[in-house]
Amino acid sequence: MNKVENLKRITLTFQAGTAPDTMNLIPRHPQFEFIFALGQEGMSPFEYELVGKTEGEEVLLHIQKQTFYTFFEHLNPPIWDLLDGREDIYLKAKIAAVTATDNRAVVKALAELTAHSGGGCDCGGGCGCGC
C-alpha cells in the first residue's frame, strides 16, 4: 500500500455530516487532490492528520467554521459551502490514492503557492490567504 509522505500527490474523497455518525451533507466536489507537505509554513494541521496513513484509510475530522483557514492553511478543499449556516461539520476524508509527483508538478505548485500567498491571486479573500 502507498503511504502518505512528503511531496506525494494525495487524492482524497470526502463525506460530510452534521454528526460523527451521520454523513448527511453532500460535498459539491467530493474529491480533492493536492501535493502533500508543500506549504510555505510546513504542514498544515489537516496534513498532520494524514501523516503515515495509507490508501484506503479514513480520518474523521471535526471542522469548525472559525478555524477552517488555520486548519487547512494553504490548502483549499472544496467544502467551505458546507459550513453555510453551520458552525461546524464532521468530515470523513478517505485516502483514495497516493502517487509519486514529478518535479515539474512540484515546481508548478510551489509557483502557484508563492503567487497566491504574495497577493498575486484573485481569490477575493475566500480562501484564507489574506489577499
Domains and CATH numbers, the chain: 9-119 (3.10.50)
- 38/16 Cα distance (integer angstroms): 25
Tens-place pLDDT, residues 21-38: 999 999 999 999 999 999
Confidence at residue 118, expressed as pLDDT on a 0 to 100 scale: 52
The predicted model scores a pTM of: 0.85
> What's the confidence (pLDDT) of residue 78?
94
pLDDT along the chain (131 residues), means of 10: 94 97 94 93 94 97 97 94 97 97 90 67 50 48
